[in-house]
A = this chain, B = another copy of it.
Amino acid sequence: MPLRENFLPAFDLDERLARDSLLVAPIGLCQLRLLNDRRWPWLVLVPQRDGISEVFDLTPLDQVMLSFETNLVATALKKVTGATKINIGALGNIVRQLHVHVIARNEGDANWPGPVWGYGTAEPWQTADREKLAAQILENI
């Protein structure tokens, strides 16, 4: 058998996640992505593991890593945006590949104080604005 080119597990990003969000950076276990919807600063963490839908289906080490990376990103998003509240969620009713949402919420934002999922129609970011936000997040994690 040929040697594998590397020792990373195979990982294929779900097509809908690929379409709806933009890569910020791989940060360890997860790909850090930005949802392409400027109504809210909305990050998504996708563990680079195939075939996992639920957090509890990750290995115990990966569960700890995901928790650590989620909290790191949430802290950075709070600092960069000054948001009133950070919303964190793993739903997956539509896209089954495990992904964790980290969203900056403020009084008066779209659907405040309700949840963001499924609400209205995405408004794509301007390239300069999303690149600035992504850079600020990376500077703070």
Contacts and interface: CB of A to CB of B under 8 A. Distances in A.
A78 interface: yes
A28 interface: no
Determine the interface band of chain A, counting residues with CB < 8 A from chain B: 20 to 34
Contacts of A71: 55-56, 63
B93 A112 contact: yes
Interface of A: 53-56, 63-64, 67-68, 70-71, 74-75, 78, 84-94, 96, 105, 112-115, 117-118
A105 B53 CA distance: 13
Contacts of A90: 87-89
Nearest to A75: B56
Contacts of A113: 93-94, 118
Most buried by B among A74, A93, A114: A93
Nearest to A89: B89
A108 to B, nearest CB: 12
